[in-house]
Amino acid sequence: MTATTHALVGGAIAATIPDPVLGVSLALTSHIVLDMVPHWDFGWGWRKKTKLKFFLEAAFDLCLGFILSYLIFGQRVNFGYFVTCVLASEALDIIEAPYWFLNWRFPPFSWIYKFMSSIQGKAKLPWGIVTQVVAVFLLVIILKRI
């Protein structure tokens, strides 16, 4: 999933789950569940991109996700809790970043990379974005009903 999708889900969790221990745990777990859904993201084909291009795409995605999530969910929630949930929802990709950008091919970065690569559901554009929109929409509905 894109970082934007992960951030939106993390923000939705922060806005609907008042217990920080449960909220942060769900935000972290949501990353794994969402990545199993067939999707597209900027990481596909990362070996064929320059590190600068990939970094700029990833930074744009992270910033866009945080801003959108804050505008939609973050204004009604304690800011620290909101940021923690958003970061938890993106944590596995953030931990994986040194593997991509710094060639750190040792644990825990290599473990995270191998695990995350093994669970990725892949879909081409435009369906890989459609699945993300649907996933966020369904998760927000489910969270509002809790």
pLDDT > 70: what percent of the chain?
A: 100
* Residue 48 CA: distances (Å) to CA of 40, 100, 129: 16, 12, 21
Q: Give how far Cα 113 sits from Cα of 21, 38, 102, 118, 133, Å.
A: 26, 18, 13, 9, 25
pTM, full prediction: 0.95
Domain that holds residue 121: 3-145
Number of domains in the chain: 1
* Per-residue confidence band for 121, with pLDDT thresholds at 50, 70 and 90: very high
pLDDT per position as a tens digit, 6-50: 999 999 999 999 999 999 999 999 999 999 999 999 887 888 889
C-alpha span between 112 and 86 (Å, rounded) = 19
